[in-house]
Structure 1
Amino acid sequence: MFLKMLFSISVALFVTLIGHYYLYLRLVDPIFGKSTLWITIFICLWSITFFGFIILRIVPHFLRKIFELIMFIWMGVAFLFTIVCLLTSPINMYLKATHQSTIHLCFFVIFSGTILTLYAMYLALKRPEVIHTHIKVKSILPNNIKNLKFVVLSDIHVSGLIGKKRMKYLAETVNSLNPDIIFITGDLMDGSLNQLKKEIAPLGDLYAKYGIFYITGNHEYYSGPQNWKHHFADKFKWKVISNSSQTVTIDNIAINILGIEDRHWLSYEKIPRKLDKRLQQAVNHLNFNGAPKEEALNILLAHQPKDARLLAHFPFIDLQISGHTHGGQIWPLQYIVKKDQKYVKGLYQINSNQQIYVNQGTGFWGPPMRLGTNCEITLMTFFSK
């Protein structure tokens, strides 16, 4: 565990240093030359990027907002500017090979990067988009299942940048959809209960006729998961599912909702990955309660899409609902996400009987920017084949 953490820190140190040095060489040096002022600025910006996550955990909330704004906006700006630099690198190499000035190219990159940054911030900060998804289910289920409405929220990431005002709008928007059930699939916050309980408070007004079902994401395990789970269960009256199940019967439709903890729970509980029995525990809980399976709609809530590999052992599960990926959030990160998670956003057919839906995030993480993705509230309905 220690070696893995040391490796991750070393990679982060290397990547951030190289990235800042590359931006300095491409955009600053051709215009200003070897400037002590700009070298100092870039060292400070790198320090904010590398040490910022530690600082966020210890500063008071009002300072956290300011620091997050500076840190995450710079992270997004640096990433987008690097992308533009890389895309224009053949032109840059040609100009240098022919001994021509690259100053005009620098100004073009700065202009393009600025426009791209502003557009990406607009996509992230605008109101979440309600995406209506129709999902086919087995024909044995009653036809009136099409009348039920399920809302999926995921990866809201309440923090210094996503706060009380946005949560109030989110609660009002979701309630206006009149959902029968709400699923919240983790990464709800980035911070401790003491830091963020006021910011997250409007979500206590969420209402669904047959209940709100919540599972943890990986970010809960950076933020004091037990405190948050008790808060949601006791204060918000949500149904917190931890490697267990709940069965809801609506008219003559049985809906089994299984929920597993995020994969970080294994490390938290000091359980080796090879002994991963999270879904088995949830299925055992369902069997213990004697819930029907073949005649029911069986839904698994699992924060990370790659947990879909567990479904092969439990073919009665019809649908997995996940988040975590943010759809990649900023192009072209979706290609890296796909390599890790396999499923990036939207609905996928896993096999002839099982599907997975991946919400691309109701909020955003890190830079308040999106490119090629949207903040999503999923409105999910089912119909019989």
Structure 2
Amino acid sequence: MSNMTSFLKFLTVFTTILGSAYIYTGIRLVEGLSLSGLSVYLFWGAIIVLILIIPVSYFLSQVTASEWVQSFFSYFAFTGLGFFTILFSLVILKDLATLLFRLTQLSLWFTLPQVGEGTYFKFSISLGLIGVAILLTLYGFYQTHQKLKTVLVKIHIKDLHADLEGFTIVQISDVHIGPTIKGKFLNRVVARINHLDPDFVAITGDLVDGPASRLKQHLLPLGDLKSKYGTFYITGNHEYYSGVHAWISEIKKLGIQVLINENKVLHHQGATVTVAGVTDLKAGSIVREHATNPLQAIQGGENSDFKILLAHQPNSIFEAAGLGYDLQLSGHTHGGQYFPGNILIYLAQKFVAGLHTYKDMLIYVSRGTGYWGPPLRIGAPSEITKLVLSKA
């Protein structure tokens, strides 16, 4: 009950903040578009619907058993959220540019030509911002549903054991099975992975977004994954919002090995590979016994020829570096997912996407296989990652 109360408080605060952004955007656009009469009421009615549809879609998901109804309202709510996030960002950029222009005028001894003061100019700019936001939303929606990339990454290791040349890992991350992503999408993912013929599959967290009682059937395709040494899974932050113990139980039923601050040593020809996994960085604040522990995770596997750490958040590397790991595989960031997230994400993450080096470790950060919230991808395409070990 306390978890539900906390979530409802979060939803209330989120809706209030979001509503404030929507109202600000509406005020700026009404002014620019010079709306009046009935058009003003219709405009504000649309904004109110977009504000309220998110909490409404959540409550509908709790009271209706119809997946079609849940998916329809969730798609409507989250696509609207994505559109307005983009539009709000564009309006803010426009207002900042206007403010900068006026400050420039004040700082100069002469007056610059008055640009953008006419009614027609304001109307054109406001209409243009809406048009750009619509086009970006449509593009992002298309990218999300049609462009699932397979990314090939070669991991060059100076002293790689000869028997590990060509050793292959396929990573998926941040699938977010939930309101708008279902088993049909996961079927596509599994078929693609099996075609890649990996030595093992890594699922680096945020696999689900909702309770196991409602969504467990959509994970069934994972039982068809094929690889030489099996599939390894670690928890992300969203599992802890969705009932982590129930999900771990369901995932184990599919034959997937769950790593909770532990490891599995693989014997590949004449070489050994340690596959270690830690819980999400925030796990300990929700489930105390799940506090992340990369030191514990490597114990017993320290002497392997190659040591891999699966850690949902890239920032786990700051604690893992120096413990003997060669490579960390992470997700969490979504690469920022879409504008303006793919710019703002750099304020919170040192490693956003791709392959990087930190001290004595390599780290690869997936942009994610699904998406969270708005079904949009702009500048950060979804990916299934094929990582191949190779001697430098």
TM-score (normalizing by structure 2)? 0.86
Structure 2 partner of 1:25: 27
Aligned pairs for 1:123-162 (under 5 A) are 123-139=143-159, 141-162=160-181
- Give 3-state SS (helix, strand or coil) of 2:374's partner: coil
CA contact (8 A) 1:16 1:49 kept: no
SS where residue 232 of structure 2 aligns? Answer: strand
- Output the amino acid matched with 1:267: S
Separation in structure 2 between the aligned mates of residue 237 and residue 62 of structure 1, nearest angstrom? 29
The aligned runs of 1:270-349 (5 Å cut-off) are 270=288, 278-283=293-298, 286-287=299-300, 291-293=301-303, 295-314=304-323, 316-349=324-357
How far apart are the structure 2 equivalents of 1:51 and 1:312?
45
Residue equivalent to 2:198: 179
Give 1:97 shift. Answer: 7.1
Mapped partners of 1:225, 1:271: distance in 2 = 12
Q: 2:362 aligns with which of 355, 367, 371?
A: 355
1:147 is aligned with what amino acid? G
Q: Indicate the SS of the match to 1:369.
A: coil
**Residue 382 (structure 1) aligned to one of 379, 382, 389:** 389
Give the AA of the match of 1:309. F
For 2:168 and 2:318, locate their aligned partners in 1 and report how far apart those are by CA, in whole Å.
27
Write the distance in 1 (CA, Å) between the matches of 2:283 and 2:244: 9
Q: CA–CA distance in 1 between the matches of 2:8 and 2:316?
A: 26
Tell whether the 8 Å contact from 1:12 to 1:50 is kept in structure 2 after alignment: no
The whole-number CA distance in structure 1 between the counterparts of 2:115 and 2:22 is: 21
* Match in the other structure for 2:264: 246
Matches of 2:282 and 2:60 in 1, distance apart? 22
Fraction of identical pairs, as percent: 30
The question of whether the paired residues in 1 share the 8 Å contact of 2:86 and 2:339 is answered with no
Give how far 1:138 is off: 4.2
Does residue 1:81 correspond to 2:87, yes or no? yes
1:65 alignment counterpart = 71
| Corresponding position of 2:244 | 225
Amino acid paired to 1:217: G
Give SS of 1:341's match. Answer: coil
Q: Work out the CA distance in 2 between the residues paired with 1:153 and 1:192.
A: 21
Amino acid at match of 1:250: H
> For the structure 1 residues 52 and 280, does the alpha-carbon distance in structure 2 shift closer, same or farther, using more than 3 Å as the test?
farther
Cα offset for 1:51?
A: 6.1
Q: State how far apart, in whole Å, the 1-side matches of 2:161 and 2:185 are.
A: 38
CA distance 1:78–1:259, shift in 2 (3 Å): same
Displacement after TM superposition at 1:123 (Å): 1.3
Summarize the Cα distance change of 1:277–1:238 in structure 2 as closer, same or farther, 3 Å threshold: closer
1:56–1:304 Cα change, 3 Å: farther
Q: Which amino acid aligns with 1:63?
A: V
Secondary structure of the residue aligned to 1:355 is strand
CA displacement at 1:26 relative to structure 2: 2.8
Would you say the 8 A contact 2:264–2:274 is kept in 1? yes
Alignment correspondent of 2:107: none
Q: CA deviation at 1:104?
A: 2.2
Structural mapping, 1:29-44, within 5 Å: 29=31, 30-33=33-36, 35-44=40-49
Greater mean deviation of Cα atoms: 104-113 or 146-155:
104-113
Shift of 1:343: 0.8
Q: Displacement, 1:253? A: 1.5
TM superposition shift of 1:159: 1.9
**Aligned residue in 1 for 2:108:** none
Q: What letter corresponds to residue 69 of structure 2 in structure 1?
A: L
Compute the TM-score of the two structures, normalised by the length of structure 1: 0.88
The correspondence for 2:130, drawn from 85, 100, 110, is 110
In the TM superposition, what is the alpha-carbon distance from 1:226 to its structure 2 partner?
1.1
Aligned alpha-carbon RMSD (Å): 2.7
Provide structure 2 residue ranges, at least 5 long, that are not aligned to the other structure.
Answer: 103-113
> How far did 1:16 drift?
1.0
- CA displacement 1:243-277 (0-9 Å, x = unmatched): 111110110121101101112320222479xxx56
SS state at 1:151 partner: strand
Query: Taking structure 1 as reference, are residues 149 and 109 closer, same or farther at Cα in structure 2, changes over 3 Å only?
Result: same
Report the 3-state secondary structure (helix = DSSP H, G, I; strand = E; otherwise coil) of the residue aligned with 1:182.
strand
Distance 2:10 2:184 in 1: 35
Cα 1:217–1:50, aligned 2, differ >3 Å: closer, same or farther? same
- From the superposition, tell whether residues 271 and 168 of structure 1 become closer, same or farther in structure 2 (CA, over 3 Å): closer
CA apart distance, 1:54 = 5.6
Deviations 1:94-134 (A, max 9, x none): 88973534222222222222111111111111141010001
Aligned counterparts of 1:22 and 1:49: Cα–Cα separation in 2: 18
Distance 1:9 1:71 in 2: 14
Consecutive unaligned residues of structure 1, counting only runs of 5 or more, are: none
